[in-house]
Amino acid sequence: MKKFSLIFQELIYDFVHWAIQPLKPLLKPNSRMEKIIIPLEKLAKEVAYNCQMCGQCILHSTGMVCSMNCPKNLRNGPCGGVRLNGHCEVKPEMKCIWVRAYEGASLMPKYGAELLRVQPPVKRNLQDSSAWVNMLHGLDESSKVEWLSAEEQEKLEDLWSK
């Protein structure tokens, strides 16, 4: 059941990704259109994922669990403080985001391996902006230095199925 839900979410992700491409000329960073779309994006993602509006969404790479809900804002996996029941070191009543992310990714045929992506530091200046707009214009990934070579990243993601 959970697997179907995750496969469905992968499809939705692909659909949104595809559907917003033609809107690129309209949806410019800091434009009035972005201001209009932000509440919509927030509403959709907040209800489903408790989205924190970091503006650089990696949801599909983290088992469809928003990693910004991790109290340490970790983007690359769990810390060493996870409790034996799989709950969070900081918030004992909450299941560890990364335990959930691993469970989710394990059930995702298309994007599961992306859990092994080495995620770059969060751009805090994109907080509360639209991840959709940022993605269309490459603001979420742009950087003057290469974070990781495609070759290194591929080799790493190959480990997923092992």
Query: Which positions lie near other proteins, rule CB under 8 A?
Result: 71-84, 86, 89-90, 96, 98-99, 102-103, 115-116, 118-122, 124, 143-145, 147-148, 152-153, 155-156, 159-160, 162
Which of residues 81 and 109 has its CB atom nearest to other proteins in the complex?
81
Question: 87 forms bridges with which residues in the sheet?
Answer: 95
Which letter, b or e, does each residue of 97-135 get, where b requires 16 or more Cβ atoms within 10 Å of its Cβ? Answer: bbbbbbebbebbeebbbbbbbebbebbeebeebbbbbbb
Question: Least distance (Å) from other proteins to the CB of residue 8?
Answer: 23
Which of residues 14 and 158 has its CB atom nearest to other proteins in the complex?
158
Question: Least distance (Å) from other proteins to the CB of residue 142?
Answer: 11
CA distance 59 to 48: 11
Contact 140, 97 (CB under 8 A): no
How is residue 1 annotated by DSSP? -
Which of residues 44 and 118 has its CB atom nearest to other proteins in the complex?
118
Question: Least distance (Å) from other proteins to the CB of residue 73?
Answer: 5
Which of residues 25 and 80 has its CB atom nearest to other proteins in the complex?
80
